[in-house]
Amino acid sequence: MLINIFLKISISICFFCVIPCFAKSFEREKLPEGAKFIRKASIVKGTSPIYEFHFKNGLKLLVLSDSRNPMGYIKFILDAGSNREVKGKTGLAHFFEHMMLRKTKNEEEGHYDRFLSSLGGSGNAGTSNNFVMYYSKFPGPAIEKVLSIPSS
C-alpha cells in the first residue's frame, strides 16, 4: 500500500507528490495506524484536489493526483535551512542537502540518481534559509519503487 511507505520516511517535514492516474485508488486506500487524513481541497475551483495527510513520524504529505500527465513528481522539504546555523558553524544545511538520498541502508551510494536516470527521470536538490529540498520527476507508474528508496 502506497501510504505505508510514508510511515517509514521520518526525516521530512513536508512531502509533496504529484501522482498521475491514481486519484480513485488513492482516495479508497485504508490508512494504516499512524496516518491521519487532514483534508481534501482544490486550490482553484474546478481543478484536481490536493489531499493532506499527517503521520505519527512528523511527516506531512500533500498529494495532487493529475491524470493529464503520465509523469510523477515528488519533493522532500526538510526543516534544516541555513537560518538554524550559528556563526562559526555554517554549511551544515548545504552539507545535509548533499547527503539526502545519497545512500540508504539498503542501497549503495548513488543508486537513487542512477535509478531515476534509468527510468528517464531526473532529480535535483537545493538549500535555502528556511529549508533543504530534493525533488524528483519520473514516469508515474514507478511511484512505489521511487518512494521505497528514500523510505529505506
How many residues are there in the chain?
152
pLDDT at 120: 93
Contacts of 106 (CB under 8 A, 6+ apart): 149, 152
Residues 2-151, CATH architecture: 2-Layer Sandwich (3.30)
Q: What is the pTM (predicted TM-score) of this model?
A: 0.68
Span 116-145, mean pLDDT? 87
Alpha-carbon torsion, ordered 141, 20, 151, 129, to 10 deg: 140
β-pairing, 60-65 vs 14-19, is parallel
Q: Where are the domains of the chain?
A: 2-151
Instruction: With a cut of 50, say whether residue 4 has pLDDT above it.
Output: no
pLDDT at 18: 58
- Model confidence pLDDT, tens digit, residues 28-61: 566 777 778 888 888 788 877 888 888 787 778 7
* CB-CB contact of 55 with 7 (8 Å): yes
Q: What CA–CA distance (Å, rounded) separates 72 from 15?
A: 13
